[in-house]
Amino acid sequence: MDGYFSPRFWRIVWPLALAETLLWASIYYVFPALIPRWLDEFGWTRAEITGAFTLCVLISAAFAPVVGHFIDRGYGRPLMGAGGAVACAVLVVVSQTESKIVFYVCWMIMGAAQAALLYEPCFAILTRLFAENAKRAITAVTLLAGLAGTVSFPLAHWLAETTGWRNGLLVFAAIVAVSTLIAIFALKESEARHRTGSATQISQPSALRVALAKPVFWLLAIAFTCLALNHGAVISHLLLMLDERNVTTGVAVLAASLMGPMQVAGRIGMMGLERRGVSTDGVALLSFVLVAVAALVLYASRSMTWLIFAFVVLQGAGYGVTSITRPAVTAQFLGRDGFGAVSGAIAIPTVSGFALGPTLASLIWGVRGYNLVIVALFSITLVGMMAFLAARRLAR
């Protein structure tokens, strides 16, 4: 079994971890990091701006099964290369536009690029390459990539203050180019040895049909969708939520930047719990509890500002482990046969939930502010926890 510091991990996993960190920072977290700038610059409503992000992530979800299909056949590397080129071009165009239509079209195209670059394709590739040892490889990637928000929020704020957000996006485009090269070089030899062009050798279509026929699949989809919807709303509106609570910009950026380290802390904590005999599905259940409690703490922070940092700890740690537990639990409950396609299929509702979170939160905010948003997110998290408990019971 490959260890965290084995030669194979140094050749493949750690370069991918670095690439994923930079990619998440540059093509995902850069959007919520720049929302306040766009509100000031364009004069569009919150719903109009976050609607572009919603479409972006929905398109990413729609492309997930297609990407998984090609990854099952060993073509993850060219997909990541193409995705990186597209993402660079999109960031350059967004940096120059004044048009709402162009802004929307760019982020819709970015959704296709995200489907080829972020966690879903990366984890499917690692599951294909490392088989039973994939969970350790995925954990390594997420330990480093959990710091993406910590890179993106301060860097975007600093670039916007010093050079303007438009030039800042050009910097992020350059980062995407470098990180994509790192990823495709990391996969150069390993994926070639695992490639197969014969569709008859791959049980993916039948495996996907079998998975779709199981109630466990749909219960897992509901559970992780609810959790993703919660976090999608939180990460996109965090700076705005804190502004409504009269938190200074500096403190708000600091809190948003700490979300990443808390995700890493949650993943390290998960490793400690598993060494003590806690199962992966047990850790997944705990993540629902932590995120639900985080919503309660955020609600109470209006009168006690220091609770904002308690919220960041709970939300970051709780949601942070799902990047590991979701693929691991999916493989545990539904099997590894055709994992790329099955994982891609379950990603459609999950990523869609993440996509709908920002816009849903904007609409609820228009009714009665962020307090109502927080109550809604707490309730949605409880629904997800009930669905996960049902899936766990059926799988056992």
Largest CA distance in the chain: 62
Alpha-carbon distance of 255 to 264, in angstroms, equals: 15
Q: Which two tokens stand for residue 35?
A: 């929302």
Q: Find the mean pLDDT for residues 160-180.
A: 96
What secondary structure letter does DSSP report for 6? Answer: S
Please list, in sequence order, all residues whose beta carbon lies within 8 angstroms of the beta carbon of residue 104, skipping any fewer than 6 positions away: 51, 52, 55
CB atoms within 10 A of CB 162: 9
pLDDT over 90 at 379, yes or no: yes
Q: What is the pLDDT of residue 194?
A: 52
CATH code for the part of the protein at 7-195+202-395: 1.20.1250.20
pLDDT over 90 at 103, yes or no: yes
**What band does 98 get if pLDDT is binned at 50, 70 and 90?**
very high
Alpha-carbon distance of 350 to 220, in angstroms, equals: 9
Letter for the amino acid at 281? D
**What band does 197 get if pLDDT is binned at 50, 70 and 90?**
very low
**What band does 345 get if pLDDT is binned at 50, 70 and 90?**
confident
Q: What is the pLDDT of residue 287?
A: 93
Q: Find the mean pLDDT for residues 359-373.
A: 89
| Domain extents in the chain | 7-195+202-395
> pLDDT tens across 203-225, in order?
445 777 888 888 999 999 999 99
Q: What is the pLDDT of residue 291?
A: 95
Q: Find the mean pLDDT for residues 223-238.
A: 91
More confident residue, 165 or 11: 165
pLDDT over 70 at 385, yes or no: yes
Per residue, the 3-state secondary structure of 168-228, as one string, reads HHHHHHHHHHHHHHHHHHHCCCHHHHCCCCCHHHCCHHHHHHHHHCCHHHHHHHHHHHHHH
> pLDDT tens across 248-306, in order?
888 888 888 888 788 888 888 887 887 788 888 888 999 999 999 999 999 988 777 78
Closest CA to 375 of 295, 281, 312: 295
> pLDDT tens across 22-49, in order?
999 999 999 989 998 999 999 898 889 9
